[in-house]
Amino acid sequence: FVESGRRGARKRWNGPRIARLDELDPAVRDAVITLIEAAKTRRVDRPSSPTPEAA
- The pLDDT value recorded for residue 1 is 47
b/e code 12-42 from CB counts within 10 Å (16+ = b): eeeebeeeebeeeeeeebeeeeeeeeeeeee
The predicted-structure confidence for 1-55, as pLDDT tens digits, reads as follows 455 555 555 555 555 455 566 666 788 878 888 988 888 877 665 555 556 665 5
CB 2 within 8 A of CB 8: yes
- The pLDDT value recorded for residue 14 is 52
Q: Which pTM was predicted?
A: 0.36
Distance CA 41, CA 19 (A): 21
- The pLDDT value recorded for residue 30 is 85
